[in-house]
Structure 1
């Protein structure tokens, strides 16, 4: 299964996503903020997939992914936005960054399917991890 970084400021949602993904066999690390997510990646290396909330204090999920995409080694990092924001402009911004955009409340099977999809796409474009 995949190494997944979950970036979510709400501790209850973060814990729920972690538990669900671990239940599916993924190895999960989480961060409560965008800045801490960037620190985790700097210290531990890139995950195979990053799951980001859009609306977070300090640095939004969109800003985190833009920051990562600006670095050549993370330009193709598979990403999924998991957000309560359903405005068309937020969804479009996430998709422009090449991410899958899911809304909260989420269905575990949809998140699992999105992870499988981005991993398949990544393996096809980069030759896998």
Structure 2
């Protein structure tokens, strides 16, 4: 399974997502904010896939992904947005970054399938 970085400011949701992803066999690290996520990546290396909330104080999930994607080594880092924001413009912004966009509340199987799709798309993009 994949190494997943979960970026979610709500501790209850973050814990729930971690628990569910571990239940699917993934290795999970989490961050409570965008800046913390960037520190985790800098210190521990990139995950195989990101699961990000969009609306977080200080730095949105969209900004986190854009910041990481500006670095050549993370240009194709697969991502899944997991957000309560359901406005078409929010979904379009996430998809414009090449991420899969899911809304909360979420179904575990849908999140697992989105992670698998994001990983498969990254492999295809990298030409592996």
**TM-score past 0.5 threshold:** yes
CA deviation map 1:22-76 (0-9, x unaligned) = 0000000000000000000000000000000000000000000110111111110
Alignment-derived partner of residue 111 in structure 2: 111
For residues 1-129 of structure 1, the aligned pairs below 5 Å read 1-127=1-127
Structure 1: stretches of 5+ with no match in the other structure: none
Runs of 4+ in 1 over 6 A off after TM superposition: none
Structure 2: stretches of 5+ with no match in the other structure: none
For normalisation by structure 2, the TM-score amounts to 0.98
The number of aligned residues is 128
Q: CA RMSD in A?
A: 0.8
CA deviation map 1:69-124 (0-9, x unaligned) = 11111110000000000011100000000000000000000000000101111112
C-alpha distance in structure 2 between counterparts of 1:26 and 1:126, whole Å: 22
Residue aligned with 2:89, SS: helix
